[in-house]
Amino acid sequence: MIRTDIQSIARACGGRIFGNQSGNITGVVIDSRDAKEELMFVAVIGPNKDGHDYLTDAMDRGCRVFLISQEERTQVILEKEPTASIILTGDTEQGLTWVAQAYLEQFDLYRVAVTGSVGKTTTKEMTARVLCQKYHTISTVGNLNTTLGQCLTAFQADRDTEAIVFEMGMDRKGELESYCRWIRPQIAVITNVGTAHLEHLGTREAIADAKLEIATYLGPKDVLIFNSDSDFLSAETVEDKLKGRCMLCPVGTGADAQYQLTDIRSEGDGVHFALEDRHRGLLQSFTLPILGIHNALNASLSAAVGAFLNISLEEASEALFEMQTAKRRLHVEIAGGVTLIDDTYNAGPDSMKAALDVLAAAEGRRRIAVLADILELGSYLEEGHLSVGRYVAEKNPDVLIAIGDHAKYYAIGAEEADYNGLLIRCQTNEEALNFLLPELRPGDVVLVKGSNATGVAGVAEQIRQRIKTEEES
């Protein structure tokens, strides 16, 4: 972030300044533990915590500029630190959005927005890697894909930035529109339409419509790049819904794709495929040093983004050859002869099945699937879990360990589809570990996956510690 004065911040959010009227900041934080000199602490009011309760902590860490929405807090701050600058606005989250919008408007740069039910973080990272071939590029850190995450991403920009990639999550109608209203991307990407967030949106068609909000502010010279293999995202469907609003670039394996994937195969620890730009008649081979055939599509979407910004397919291929998996996303570790596939960041039925594909392709003595509950499925909860159970039977790992309240549906689906492996049902992560850890043997391949809120990442961590300890002993 370039140095920004508090007067311009107050103007952007319609705020009033108390205390020092001439402060400056070089960054923004929403967690008091990250506060320090020259940063502005924003007191966000969340469902469980009120940032105003952490103002003193931020001050003790050196922060002297604050964005708040509770006027009674000003006196407390100024009594402790008279040199502090306090900006009072009606709502800190909305106020921060206005500040981020004004800040971003200073720069002339390419803006890319990525959304999708599955794969948006990986696609965002791949896109940033491709754009770095030609441009000074920044992107959303980790998975900060909410309103606050969009703001913090915007504040990363500085005078050297030439391209910025935003990852946009959503679980409600209107959410993507609200982001794009101020970010105004020139290139938007939709990875797919899955079953995540059915709890709020009801149907997959409604999810598709909500995803297409990412194109709301695209103009005739802008482009929507999308996975035309995904349900509800065929080229014909998207064209009908957007009615010529912007350019369209379908990417997939079908005949309607402008960028068409062929010869997709998994070999060893990587994925190989060919990508053809059918408009220009260009064909390029790609090798990704990461697991999961589904990542070929994510890579192709990112290559298409690069192509619209004058980065060749060959350059994109070179960039993605060095790609690495993000933490807890099909991350592979081998120790003590045991292979751990940690995919515990989050889960939906589609990503569960993709992870089971990876497990099925892995070489090992036994393949063990440790699957925890999928959350936020709403009325699709039972069928979503049943469908994963049926897929377990199709891929036939040697062991299925189903964890949680809804995991019974994994078991039911697997049994209905004649799964013939060992089926273990566990209510808790601890119960699963008590069974699994003593059973691990060299040659085992273990996939651990489930929604983040289930705490299943702790299962992967315990396995990790066990196999590393045994390797060292």
Range list of β-strands (E), 137-205: 137-139, 163-167, 187-190
CB 446 within 8 A of CB 368: yes
The per-residue pLDDT for 467 is 84
Render pLDDT for 387-439 as a digit per residue (tens, 0 to 9): 999 999 999 999 999 999 999 999 999 999 999 999 999 999 999 999 999 99
Say which amino acid occupies 313: L
331-472 adopts what CATH topology?
Protein-Tyrosine Phosphatase; Chain A (3.90.190)
Pick the CATH number of 107-320 from 3.40.640.10, 3.40.1190.10, 3.90.550.10, 3.40.190.10: 3.40.1190.10
Contact (CB, 8 A) for 436 and 411: no
334-357: per-residue pLDDT in tens?
888 899 999 998 888 888 998 999
Q: Angle 260-265-266 (CA atoms, 0-180°, nearest 5)?
A: 135
| pLDDT tens by residue, 37-46 | 999 999 999 9
* Banded pLDDT at 196 (limits 50, 70, 90): low
Kindly list the domain boundaries of the chain, sorted by start residue.
4-93, 107-320, 331-472
Between 34 and 202, the more confident residue is: 34
Q: Are 38 and 24 in contact (CB under 8 A)?
A: yes
What's the rounded mean pLDDT across residues 302-312?
Answer: 98
Band of the pLDDT at 198, cuts 50, 70, 90? low
66, β-bridge pairs: 41, 86
Residues facing residue 138 across a β-bridge: 164
Share of the chain above pLDDT 70, in %: 97
Q: Residue 396: its pLDDT value, please?
A: 95
Is the pLDDT score of 471 beyond 70? no
376: pLDDT strictly greater than 60: yes
pTM of the model: 0.80
Mean pLDDT, range 65-83, rounded to an integer: 95
- pLDDT of 16 reads 97
Identify the CATH assignment for 4-93 out of 3.30.450.40, 3.40.1390.10, 3.30.70.1380, 3.40.50.10860: 3.40.1390.10
Across residues 256-285, what is the average pLDDT? 92
For residue 197, name the pLDDT band (cuts at 50, 70, 90).
Answer: low
| Contacts for 466-473: CB closer than 8 Å, 24+ residues apart | 466/437, 466/440, 467/333, 467/335, 467/336, 467/338, 467/340, 467/440, 468/335, 468/336, 470/335, 470/336, 471/335, 471/336, 471/337
Using pLDDT thresholds of 50, 70 and 90, give the confidence band for residue 137: very high
- In the three-class reduction of DSSP (H, G, I as helix; E, B as strand; rest coil), residue 278 is classed as coil
What confidence tier does 187 reach under pLDDT thresholds 50, 70, 90?
Answer: very high
State phi, psi for 200 to the nearest 5 degrees: -100, -30
CA-closest candidate to residue 375, choices 340, 346, 343: 346
Q: How far is 209 from 105, CA to CA, in rounded Å?
A: 28
Cα 451 from Cα 461, distance rounded (Å):
15
Which pLDDT does position 309 carry in this prediction? 98
